Amino acid sequence: MGHHGRVHAQDEAAPPQSAAPQRGGGMFPRTTSFRSRRSALSDAQRRLWERRWPELGTEVRSPDDTGPPAPLDTAAWFGRPAPLVLDIGCGTGSATLAMAQAEPELDVLAVEVYRRGLAQLLSGIDRAGVTNIRLIRGDAVDVLHDLLTPGCLTGARVFFPDPWPKARHHKRRLLQPATVALIADRLRPGGVLHAATDHADYAAQIAEIGDAEPRLRRVAPDAALPISVARPVTKYESKAREAGRAITELIWERRPA
């Protein structure tokens, strides 16, 4: 067993139904779904990071990895076996924190590439004494491919991913067919993929991709599901609504095996 409960196992391949999504490495040479940003932590954030990150956070590729990253042993990391939810692109973590507090029976892996956003979430976790969130810094595609195994997730949440509105940038959108196929592979039967966006064109694309994935079926928000699909309204969403942009919710569940 390695860093943060990682078990050394053979690397899982992407599902055969779709071409594998491009994977990054070394922060991050491939075409990615996120923008480059540099922002320093405040002194208080840095001190908290040094104190809590070794316990609650990890990088996609840890300094201990000499080969491909080993899958996470989440039961060891959280200290219990529990249904697992992947929060992709958690930003500053306000929604992540609120939803984790509302569902203490679930364990949440919050993935974000930006250190400052993770530092803000870490501050919220520390203040609230929340115990069911762990943080991963890195590309969500790499997390799905390298750190998670088939059928390990009860839910995956992707709220307001960057829409990359210019046509020439659409290839950078996160929710492409290969990535949705990879998410479907990591969901257990009955597991939920929940996406939300305020960008109409991206919403249509996500809907088409999700509906075309044979292991997923669309469900209504009031369906009986293993995770809540009620979301707190974030500052970003409030601004989107004030600007007149409609919010589209898209929910699928993994079909029975």
Task: Tell the residue number behind the tokens 């201990």, with chain if given.
Answer: 64
87 labelled binding-site residue: yes
User: Is 65 annotated as catalytic?
Assistant: no
Q: Is 73 annotated as a binding residue?
A: no
Of 77, 139, 128, 79, whose CA–CA distance to 102 is shortest?
128
Catalytic residue among 107, 142, 162, 201: 162
Q: Is 197 part of any known ligand binding site? A: no
**Kindly report the CA angle at 202 between 201 and 203, in degrees rounded to 5?**
90
CA distance to 2, 222, 223, per residue, from 83 (Å): 22, 20, 18
> 236: annotated binding-site residue?
yes
Q: Is 198 annotated as a binding residue?
A: yes
211 is in an annotated binding site: no
Strands (E), the chain: 57-59, 84-88, 107-112, 133-137, 153-159, 187-197, 216-218, 248-254
Ligand-binding annotation for 114, yes or no, is: no
Tokens of 76: 């060891």
Residue 149 labeled ligand binder = no
Instruction: Please name the residue ranges forming H helices in 112-188.
Output: 115-128, 140-142, 177-186
Q: Catalytic residue positions?
A: 162
Sequence ranges of the binding site for S-adenosyl-L-methionine: 87, 112, 139, 162
**Residues annotated in a binding site for substrate:** 166, 198, 234-237
Query: Can you say which residues are annotated as belonging to the binding site?
Result: 87, 112, 139, 162, 166, 198, 234-237
